[in-house]
Structure 1
Amino acid sequence: MPTLAHPAYPEERLATVEKNVLCRESQLATLLSIFGERQHLGFPSIFIYGHSGTGKTYVLQTLLSTLELPCAVVNCVECFTPRLLLEQILNQLHNHCPAPENDYSSFERCDTFNDFVRLYKRIVSSPDFQKETVYIVLDKAEQLREMDANLLPGFLRLQELTESNVTVIFLTEIVWETFRPNTGCLEPLPLYFADYSKVELQRILSSDYHPEFSAEFYASYINILLGVFYTVCRDIKELRHLAALNFPKFCEPVIRAEAKETDAHKLWRNIEPHLKKAMQTVYLREISSSQWERMQQEDREAAQLKGLSAHAHVELPYYSKFLLIAAYLASYNPARTDKRFFLKHHGKIKKTDFLKKHEKTSNHLLGPKPFPLDRLLAILYSVVDSRVAPTANIFSQITSLVTLQLLTLVGHDDQLDGPKYKCTVSLDFIRAVARTVNFDIIRYLYDFL
C-alpha cells in the first residue's frame, strides 16, 4: 500500500489521514499534489464527482481538518438560497456560530455575490490567513444550478474576482457537462471518485469490527453480508448501516454458546431470514433502525389482535400507513375542523362553535365523506411532520391503496377540480394501523372530542 508523502505537511498528520481514509490512496495523493504548498497559489476550482457513498465529502473533510487548512464547508441543500449560502461561508471563515447570545444572526449580512466578494476580501486581508490558500467546499453543488445565474460562474472565478489565494471545490454526483453555463465560464479541474470494489468494501466494513469479537469473525460476517447485498447496493453508508443493524442477530448463537465463531453453517441459518427482511428496505428505509425493529415487533403484536377485519392482515409500507390515517381523518372530520386539529397556535375552539344541525349525528354513523386530494396531502404533512421526511412517491402509494380497496376513488378521473376519495376501512382497523406507528388517532377525530 502506497504511503502518502508531501514536504509541506508533517508526516504524522499524513499518516493519520491515511489511517482514517481507506481505499482512496490515489485520490488523496492527487489532492495533495493539487494543493501543493500552503502559501502557493492554488488551482481556482476543483470539480469532484462520483456516485453517492464513494467517500467524496469524507475524504475532503478529513484531509482539510487533519492538515488544519483554512476552509469553509457548506451543504447547498441546507443553504438553499444565495444569501444563506454566502453568509454560511463568511460565518465559517470568521469562526462565527449563530447562537442565542447573538439572536442566531450571521456575522455580516450578505445579499448578493458582489457583497460576498467585498466581505471576503476584507476577511482574507487579515493577518490570520497569512496568504495561505483558503478552500471553500460546496457539497451537493448541483443545487447551484437552481440559484442565481451569476453564482456558479462567480465561484469559478472567485480567485480572479477577489485577487486572493482561494480554491473553490465542488462536490456532486453528476458530471460537469450538466453544469457548464451557456455563456461560458472558467473550466474547473475534474477529479472522479469511482465506486468501491467488493474487495475495498470488504476492507472498509471489516475495519468497524466489534471489540468483543475477533476481527476475523467480523470479516466473515461482512463477507456473508456482501454476498447478499453487493449485487443490489454499492453505497458504503447503506452497507455500513445494514452491517450494524444485522450483526447482533448474526452473533446471537455465539453469545448463547450454541455455536462457535467458526460454525459458518449455523451462523448463516440464523442470519438468513433477517437478511431477507433487510433486503426489502435497501434504499427505501424511511425510519431509524430502532424504529424499524420496534415496528416489526408491533406488527407481530397487532396481527395477534382479535376482532379486526380481514384488512388488518394487509402489510403496508410505513409511509403508506400515515397516508391511510390522513385519509381516514379527512373522511370522518368536517373540513373546517382541520384548523382545530392540525394548525399550531389555533387557540381554544369549542365543539359547539362550529357544530351545525345536521352534524349532531355522529360522522361515523353517517359514513365516510369524499375529500379532495389537496386536503389529504395537507393532513398527511401535518401528521407525519415530526416523524419522517417524505421520500416516497405519494401518488403511486395512493393508487396502491385504491387497488387494495382501502381507498375508493369517487367520480371520474377527468374531473376539473381534481380527484376525490373516500376511506373505506373501519375504526378498529385504522386504530390497529395507527398503533403500529405510535399515532393516537382518537385525539384527532371530531366524534371523540
Structure 2
Amino acid sequence: MGMSEKECISQVDSNIEDSLCGRKSQIQLLLSLLGTEGLPACPSLFIYGNASSGKTLVVKTLLTHLQVPCVFINCVELFNSRLIYDKILTTLCPAGIERPSKCDNMNDFVRSFKKLLNNKSLSEQTVYLVFDKAERLRDMDINILPALFRFQELTSEKVCTILITEIVWEKFQSGRGFWKPFIIHFPDYSKDDLTEILCMDCPAEYEVQFYFSYIQLVLSIFYQACRDLRELRHLAILNFSRYIEPIKNGEATCDDTIKLWKNIEPHLKKALQTVYLREVSSAQWEKLQQDESEAPIQSLSARTHIELPFFTKYLLIAAYLASYNPAKSDRRFFCNRTGKLTRREKLVKKHERTTNHLLGPKTFPLDRLLAIFYSVVEGKVAPSANIFMQISSLVSLHLLAQVGGDDQVDAPKYRCLVSLDFITSVCRTVGFDVKRYLYDFL
C-alpha cells in the first residue's frame, strides 16, 4: 500500500473518531477490513450489538467518508427477497443503462448483478451491500443467507456483504453451507460515552458545562434502569425545559444546582416509572410540563391502563399477586376460605421481619400464574392460545419479565415488573380490590 493511501485512511480515521464517541477500536477494525483501492475487502462482515450502540451510524459514516459504491437495505421495509434484489439493482444501475428485469430468485439476481457491474465498469472498486435489521433475513428464502455470505465467490466480483443485527451469530447458523463471516461486536456505551454523546444536544444559549451538569443528573436517575441511548436522549431533551424553569422565573441562576435539582427530581423519578412504556407523546409531555396541576397526569395514566385488553389486565393482576404473595398463601386466598388469618398465622406474620413488597417481586411458574388468573377473572374463560399470546405481549411491554424457560424441558418462569400504584390503577378499571388478595395487607 502506498503512502498516499495510508495518509488517506488516517485522515478518514481521525475525522470519524471526532464525530463518533466510544467507537475507536470498532472504527479502526472496520477500516482495516473494508480494504482500499486495488485491494479486496473482507467478503462478509457480521456486526451485532444491542440497540442504540452505533452500529448502523458507524458503518454509514465510514462508507460515506470512503466514497465507495454501497447499497443500504432496511430488512423491515424490504420484507421479501424480491424487494431486496430490486433495491440493489436499482441503486447500482447507472444513468443511461437499462435496468435488469426483476429477479424472482437468487440465481437470476446473481446473473443480473454480474451483468450490471460489467456495464458499469466497477472492476476496480468494491461494492458494499449493507443489510440493517438482518435478523429478518432468516424468515425469507432459505438460500438467501448462505448466498449473501458467499456473494463475492458467486459473482467473482469485489463485493462485501455487511449484516447489522441485534442478535448473536449463533442464531443465524443453521448448517446449510454457511460461510462464517468476520464477526464484530459493538458493546454498550459506557456512562462517560453516554454523557459525551448527550452533551452534543446542548442548546446554543447555554454553556456546555451547565448542560453537562444536567446530563449527569439525568444519568444518576436513569442509568441503572436504562442504557438505551435513544431513550436517554428523549428523556433529557423533554425534561430540560422543567430543569431551567427556575432560571427563567428568576428564582435561581445557572450556579444554583441545589434549587435546580429539587425542582427537577420529582419529575425525573415520575418519568422513571414509564421509561420504556411511554404514556404520552412528546407534544403531550411538553403540554403537561406547562400545566402545574397533577390531575391530567393521573387521568392520562388511568386512560393508558384502560387501553389494555380485558383479560390482559387480569393476567397482569394475577402476575402481581404471584410475585408478591408467598406460594403457601394461595390456598387461603383462592380457595373456599374467607382469607382471614388464624390466631397462629397472625402470630407468625407478626414476627416476620420484612414484608414481601420490601423484598421485591419473586419469580413464579406459568402454571401458578394461570391458576391465579382463572381464580380471579370474572366469568369462565376457556384455555386458549390467545391467553398465552397475551402473556407474551406483557413481556414485550416490559410489564413482565421472563426469567427462565429457554430450555424446552423447563417451564418458563416470570416476574412482575409493575409497582403497587400501577396495579392499583389497573384494578380500579375492572373493579378488583387487589389489596384484599395481598398477603402484606392482611
Aligned identity (percent) is 43
Question: Which whole-Å deviations, capped at 9, do the CAs of 1:259-286 have from their partners, x for residues lacking one?
Answer: 1111110010111121012112212227
Note the C-alpha offset of 1:416. 8.1
Match of 2:146 in 1: 153
Change (3 A) 1:152 1:10: closer
Match of 1:217 in 2: 210
Equivalent of residue 316 in structure 1, options 297, 302, 305:
302
* Counterpart-to-counterpart distance in 2, 1:6 and 1:243: 42
Question: Which whole-Å deviations, capped at 9, do the CAs of 1:227-246 have from their partners, x for residues lacking one?
Answer: 11111111111111111111
Is the Cα contact below 8 Å between 1:70 and 1:129 reproduced in 2?
A: no
Residue type of the partner of 1:84?
L
Match of 2:380 in 1: 412
Is the Cα contact below 8 Å between 2:137 and 2:144 reproduced in 1?
A: yes
Residue type of the partner of 1:52?
A
Match of 2:173 in 1: 180
Match of 1:91 in 2: 90
Gaps in structure 1 of 5+ consecutive residues: 97-105, 305-311, 328-394, 420-432, 434-449
Is the Cα contact below 8 Å between 2:123 and 2:157 reproduced in 1?
A: no
* Counterpart-to-counterpart distance in 1, 2:53 and 2:70: 22
* Counterpart-to-counterpart distance in 1, 2:39 and 2:145: 24
Question: Is 1:230 aligned to 2:223, yes or no?
Answer: yes
Match of 1:198 in 2: 191
SS in structure 1 at match of 2:120: coil
Is the Cα contact below 8 Å between 2:288 and 2:296 reproduced in 1?
A: no
Is the Cα contact below 8 Å between 2:247 and 2:254 reproduced in 1?
A: yes
* Counterpart-to-counterpart distance in 1, 2:77 and 2:149: 21
Change (3 A) 1:314 1:186: closer
Change (3 A) 1:9 1:126: farther
Note the C-alpha offset of 1:49. 0.8
Residue type of the partner of 2:27?
L
* Counterpart-to-counterpart distance in 2, 1:68 and 1:196: 27
SS in structure 2 at match of 1:207: helix
Equivalences for residues 6-25 of structure 1 within 5 A: 7=6, 9=8, 13-25=12-24
Equivalent of residue 396 in structure 1, options 304, 312, 325:
312
Is the Cα contact below 8 Å between 1:6 and 1:32 reproduced in 2?
A: no
Change (3 A) 1:290 1:57: same
Equivalences for residues 22-421 of structure 1 within 5 A: 22-94=21-93, 108-127=101-120, 129-285=122-278, 288-294=281-287, 315-316=301-302, 318=304, 320-323=305-308, 396-397=312-313, 399=315, 411-414=379-382
Question: Which whole-Å deviations, capped at 9, do the CAs of 1:48-77 have from their partners, x for residues lacking one?
Answer: 111111100111111112222211111112
- Aligned residues: CA RMSD: 3.3
Return 167-176 or 181-190, whichever deviates more: 181-190
TM-score (norm 1): 0.65
SS in structure 2 at match of 1:232: coil
Change (3 A) 1:185 1:243: same
Question: Which whole-Å deviations, capped at 9, do the CAs of 1:276-323 have from their partners, x for residues lacking one?
Answer: 12112212227531134447889969769xxxxxxx9694263x4445
Change (3 A) 1:235 1:128: farther
SS in structure 2 at match of 1:39: coil
* Counterpart-to-counterpart distance in 1, 2:295 and 2:259: 31
Change (3 A) 1:267 1:415: closer
* Counterpart-to-counterpart distance in 1, 2:385 and 2:34: 59
Is the Cα contact below 8 Å between 1:9 and 1:67 reproduced in 2?
A: no
Is the Cα contact below 8 Å between 1:39 and 1:133 reproduced in 2?
A: no
Is the Cα contact below 8 Å between 1:155 and 1:168 reproduced in 2?
A: yes
* Counterpart-to-counterpart distance in 1, 2:238 and 2:299: 26
Change (3 A) 1:286 1:167: farther
Residue type of the partner of 1:413?
V
Is the Cα contact below 8 Å between 1:202 and 1:219 reproduced in 2?
A: yes
TM-score (norm 2): 0.66
Note the C-alpha offset of 1:15. 4.0
Gaps in structure 2 of 5+ consecutive residues: 320-375, 388-428, 430-442
* Counterpart-to-counterpart distance in 1, 2:19 and 2:284: 30
* Counterpart-to-counterpart distance in 2, 1:418 and 1:202: 43
Is the Cα contact below 8 Å between 2:72 and 2:132 reproduced in 1?
A: yes
SS in structure 1 at match of 2:302: coil
Question: If each structure's helix is expressed as a fraction of its own residues, which one has the higher value?
Answer: 2
Match of 1:362 in 2: none
* Counterpart-to-counterpart distance in 2, 1:221 and 1:166: 46
Question: Which whole-Å deviations, capped at 9, do the CAs of 1:52-103 have from their partners, x for residues lacking one?
Answer: 111001111111122222111111122111112222222222379xxxxxxx
Q: How many residues align?
A: 327
